[in-house]
Structure formats: structure tokens, C-alpha cells
């Protein structure tokens, strides 16, 4: 009897947390919706580079995206999820996984087998649930604003590939996790932590080599002045650059960027083709009409890389990995402490005594720890903005201040980024400071450094 009451308390607790968190998110988004609706003039700092037409295009694009996000959150994250939890959908799917095991003449009493089947069922269902939103976002929303470059065929193949690859990777990982929890003894959470740490390092290493090329085409950047100047910049910073690729990201979407990856002494840099429209050209007068003003000049690409290499030189990636590992250890320890508590399982529809490990992980780590996760996310977002400022300051020291500002403006215009944000929305959601904040800061440190010189 006590257990039953506790299960109700857990269920209503989880539902309240879900509703509270989404209400907060939706409130914050609606503040930005208001900004999109009421901001009618280009900010002074951008008057020379952003015309009225682009400004309003960006405004309407932002508005569409934000309203779509709110609609999806209300429908999926609040209504559907609440119903699923309330009516014990998770336990229902678990019983289907057991039946499926019998059908496939596998052992339904093996928790590892049932967990893998459960995972396959849950991911198939969530793929189906997400599909209408993905289709709408890609072929209606992004299409309307000129960003979608995917054909229906590319989209379907891409989705199927994505689903299969994630199943192939996650199934053995889930099986190993169940095994570790079952056999790991009292301090299994330490083994679990070591295991996920090693798996993420392995995935980080093989992802760019074996997985990413399944989805996009990576071609080495051709020899020429741009390649030479990037190699010189990398060499001057002792960045162990081994490969330099261009990815045809424009096939997926016209949003452009650059990044580096790789562990230890072997790093690769990837440039998006959309970044390079102006490659080798003095100015953009040689471009096609619709491409004019888009992409960066060689010098601007170099400034962007100055910023990226700043992330490397300042150890931002390593710092992030360390923080995430500490966070994971805390999560697993909490899980180890709480996961045998029966009401967590009864709350989501299981009978007393039935406590699947995978369900425990889901309930404890996503629902019970939701407030902690939200705080960590917020902290990580703040830290990420700090890192962005630091990488900008690094690029400034290399002499890229003005070029980086120019590149940031161009990237922002190419992506139809809206320059005005509600402060709360921005501090909650943005991993990067806004364009204006970054331009301001760059100008500030540039002037301060001129004074001291």
C-alpha cells in the first residue's frame, strides 16, 4: 500500500517537473517571439551592413522557428509525454519487447535481450513521432526561407542511414551497460563511468573517419593560397594539423561553419563549402547574383580559423570533456544510489518487483534528475559563451580582430541570424554570445591593446 502511494507521489512529481520545465522554456521563448514581433529597425551598429530587407527576412525566419519550437514543445514534450507517462506507456512497450523476444525465439528472461529489443521499439516509435516535425521543418519552414537544399530522396536516405547507424552503435552499448550494472557489484557505477568514458573517446576517434563520411562528402582542400595560409597559421601555433577538408554541407542546408576535431597529436580541420564561396577572389563581384555577399574571403576564413584554433590553444575541448566526465560520475553515482527504489518503476506502470535497469536509467537520469540537468545545461551554456569570448580574444591577439568581425557579420547574414535578442532568452539558450556582443567585445579589446602598445 505504501509503495503504491509512493508511486503516485513519484509520478505526479515527475509530471510536475516536466510541466514546470516546459512552462519555463515556453515562457522564455515567448519573450523572444515578442522581440521578433516588435523590433522593426536595424540596430545602429549594423546599419551599414544589414539592409532593411535582410533584417525583416531574418526577423520572420526567427519568428517562424520560435513559434514552431513552442508548438512542438506543447504538443510533444508536454501533452504527449504526460499522457505516455500517466498511462504507463513505458511498461506497455517493455511487455511488447518481452513478447517480441518470444516471437524471435530469444530468451525473454534475459534482461539484456529484452533491453535491446525495447531500445529498438522505443527508437522506432520516436522516429515515427518526430518525422512529421522533421518533414515540416525541412520542407516547409527552412524551404520557405531559402535554406533547405535537401531533395526528398536525400532526406529519406539520410534519415534511414541515421536510424540504422545509431541502432548499430547504441545496441551493444546498452547491452554492455546492463551487463555492468548486473555484474559490477556494489560500486558498479565506477565501472559504468569508466566504460562510458572509454566508449566516448572511441566514438570521438572513429566518428570522423568511419561515420561522418557515410552522411557527407569530405574532400581535401585543394592546394593554393588558402591552404598554404591555413597551414602556416597552424604551424605558427604548433597546431598538429594533419588533414584539411571541405565538407559539402550545402547539400544538407545552407548554414555555414568550420570546426576542428581529432585526439592528441593528430588534428583535422573541416571547412563548410558555404564558407568558401569567395575562395581565391579579391571581392565578391565575380560571384553569381544570389551568391553575392555570401561566404568569406580567404582572409576572413583565416580569421575564423584563428578563433577555432583559440579553442584548441586554450584547452576548451579538454576542459569540456573533464567537466562532462565529473558530471557523468555524479549522475551514475546518484543512479547507483536510487535505482533500486521500487516506486520509480511502479510510477511508470510496472508491477511491484519489476525493475528493468534501462528503465531505471531513463527515469532517474532524465526525469528525477531533471532540475539538476537543467542547472548543468545552463552552467555549460554560460561557460561556452565565456569560451567564445576567449577564442575571439585569441584571434584578436593574432591580428584578426577586424577580419573576424567582418566574417561574423557575413556568417550571421548568410544564416539569416537575427541580431536582437531578449536578455533572458539569450542567456538561457545561446552557446555563443550574440553578434553584437562579440563585435562590441572585439572592438573593446582592440582599442585597449592599441592604448597599451
By C-beta, is 260 or 350 nearer to Zn ion? 260
* Nearest distance from C-beta of residue 307 to Zn ion, angstroms: 6
Q: Of 66, 142, 308, 388, which one is the catalytic site residue?
A: 308
Run of H or E residues at 233? helix 225-236
CA–CA separation, 100 and 118 (whole Å) = 9
Across 199-328, the runs of DSSP E, i.e. the strands, are 218-220, 241-247, 258-261, 267-272
Q: How far is CA 423 from the centre of its chain?
A: 21
Tell me which DSSP letter residue 44 carries: G
CA–CA separation, 166 and 366 (whole Å) = 20
* Nearest distance from C-beta of residue 391 to Zn ion, angstroms: 5
* Nearest distance from C-beta of residue 311 to Zn ion, angstroms: 6
CA–CA separation, 431 and 380 (whole Å) = 8
* Nearest distance from C-beta of residue 251 to Zn ion, angstroms: 24
Residues in region 38-67 near Zn ion by CB under 5 A = none
Please list, in sequence order, all residues whose beta carbon lies within 8 angstroms of the beta carbon of residue 301, skipping any fewer than 6 positions away. Answer: 226, 230, 258, 271, 275, 276, 279, 407
> Rounded to the nearest 5°, which phi and psi values hold at 34?
-60, -40
* Nearest distance from C-beta of residue 392 to Zn ion, angstroms: 8
Across 81-230, the runs of DSSP E, i.e. the strands, are 218-220
By C-beta, is 82 or 384 nearer to Zn ion? 384
Across 122-263, the runs of DSSP E, i.e. the strands, are 218-220, 241-247, 258-261
By C-beta, is 167 or 384 nearer to Zn ion? 384
By C-beta, is 346 or 388 nearer to Zn ion? 388
By C-beta, is 25 or 388 nearer to Zn ion? 388
By C-beta, is 217 or 386 nearer to Zn ion? 386
* Nearest distance from C-beta of residue 388 to Zn ion, angstroms: 5
Tell me which DSSP letter residue 223 carries: S
Tell me which DSSP letter residue 104 carries: T
CA–CA separation, 175 and 180 (whole Å) = 9
Residues in region 17-36 near Zn ion by CB under 5 A = none
Residues in region 311-340 near Zn ion by CB under 5 A = none
Q: How far is CA 257 from the centre of its chain?
A: 14
Residues in region 281-300 near Zn ion by CB under 5 A = none
* Nearest distance from C-beta of residue 226 to Zn ion, angstroms: 20
**346 is known as an active-site residue:** no
Question: Residue count at the site for Zn ion (CB under 5 A)?
Answer: 2
| Alpha carbon distances (Å) from 35 to 45, 64, 382 | 18, 13, 22
CA triple 376-203-164, angle to 5 deg? 100
Residues listed for the chain? 453
* Nearest distance from C-beta of residue 413 to Zn ion, angstroms: 18
By C-beta, is 174 or 393 nearer to Zn ion? 393
By C-beta, is 151 or 431 nearer to Zn ion? 431
Phi-psi region of 253 (alpha: psi -120 to 50; beta: other; left: phi over 0): beta
Annotate 135-148 with b (16+ C-beta within 10 A) or e (fewer). Answer: eebbeebbeebebb
Q: Which residues share a beta bridge with 259?
A: 270
Binding track over 357-396 against Zn ion, x by CB under 5 A: -------------------------------x--x-----
CA–CA separation, 396 and 206 (whole Å) = 33
Binding track over 391-430 against Zn ion, x by CB under 5 A: x---------------------------------------
CA triple 374-380-382, angle to 5 deg? 105
What is the contact surface with Zn ion in residues (CB under 5 A)?
388, 391
Catalytic residues: 308
Amino acid at each position: 500500500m505504501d509503495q503504491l502511494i509512493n508511486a503516485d507521489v513519484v509520478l505526479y512529481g515527475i509530471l510536475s517537473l516536466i510541466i514546470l520545465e516546459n512552462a519555463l522554456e515556453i515562457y522564455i521563448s515567448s519573450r523572444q517571439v515578442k522581440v521578433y514581433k516588435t523590433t522593426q529597425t536595424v540596430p545602429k551598429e549594423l546599419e551599414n551592413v544589414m539592409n532593411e530587407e535582410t533584417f525583416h527576412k531574418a526577423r520572420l525566419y526567427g519568428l517562424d522557428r520560435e513559434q514552431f519550437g513552442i508548438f512542438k514543445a506543447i504538443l510533444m514534450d508536454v501533452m504527449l509525454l504526460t499522457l505516455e507517462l500517466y498511462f504507463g506507456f513505458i511498461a506497455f512497450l517493455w511487455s511488447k519487447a518481452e513478447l517480441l523476444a518470444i516471437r524471435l525465439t530469444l530468451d525473454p528472461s534475459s534482461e539484456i535481450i529484452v533491453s535491446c529489443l525495447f531500445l529498438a521499439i522505443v527508437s522506432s516509435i520516436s522516429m515515427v513521432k518526430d518525422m512529421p516535425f522533421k518533414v515540416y521543418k525541412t520542407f516547409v519552414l527552412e524551404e520557405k526561407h531559402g535554406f533547405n537544399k535537401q531533395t526528398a530522396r536525400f532526406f529519406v536516405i539520410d534519415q534511414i542511414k541515421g536510424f540504422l547507424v545509431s541502432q548499430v552503435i547504441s545496441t551493444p552499448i546498452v547491452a554492455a551497460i546492463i551487463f555492468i550494472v548486473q555484474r559490477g557489484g556494489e560500486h558498479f557505477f565506477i565501472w559504468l563511468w569508466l566504460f562510458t568514458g572509454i566508449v566516448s573517446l572511441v566514438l570521438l576517434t572513429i566518428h570522423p573517419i568511419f561515420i561522418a563520411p557515410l552522411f557527407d562528402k569530405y574532400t581535401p582542400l585543394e592546394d593554393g593560397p588558402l591552404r598554404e595560409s591555413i597551414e602556416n597559421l597552424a604551424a605558427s601555433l604548433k597546431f598538429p594539423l594533419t588533414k584539411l577538408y571541405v565538407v559539402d554541407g550545402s547539400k544538407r542546408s545552407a548554414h555555414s561553419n568550420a570546426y576542428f576535431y581529432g585526439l592528441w597529436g593528430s588534428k583535422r580541420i573541416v571547412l563548410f563549402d558555404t564558407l568558401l564561396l569567395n575562395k581565391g577572389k579579391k571581392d565578391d563581384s565575380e560571384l553569381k547574383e544570389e551568391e553575392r555577399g555570401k561566404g568569406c574571403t580567404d582572409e576572413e576564413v583565416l580569421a575564423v580559423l584563428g578563433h577555432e584554433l583559440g579553442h584548441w590553444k586554450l584547452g576548451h575541448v579538454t576542459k569540456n570533456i573533464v567537466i562532462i566526465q565529473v558530471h557523468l560520475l555524479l549522475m551514475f553515482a546518484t543512479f547507483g544510489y536510487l535505482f533500486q527504489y521500487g516506486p520509480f518503476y511502479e510510477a511508470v506502470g510496472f508491477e511491484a518487483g519489476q525493475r528493468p535497469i534501462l528503465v531505471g536509467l531513463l527515469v532517474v537520469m532524465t526525469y528525477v534528475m531533471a532540475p539538476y540537468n537543467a542547472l548543468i545545461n545552463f552552467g555549460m551554456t554560460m561557460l561556452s559563451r565565456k569560451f567564445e569570448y576567449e577564442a575571439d580574444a585569441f584571434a584578436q591577439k593574432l591580428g584578426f580582430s577586424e577580419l573576424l568581425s567582418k566574417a561574423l557579420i557575413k556568417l550571421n547574414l548568410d544564416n539569416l541570424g537575427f541580431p536582437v535578442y531578449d536578455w533572458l532568452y539569450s542567456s538561457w539558450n545561446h552557446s555563443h554570445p550574440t553578434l553584437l556582443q562579440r563585435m562590441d567585445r572585439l572592438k573593446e579589446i582592440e582599442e585597449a591593446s592599441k592604448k597599451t602598445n
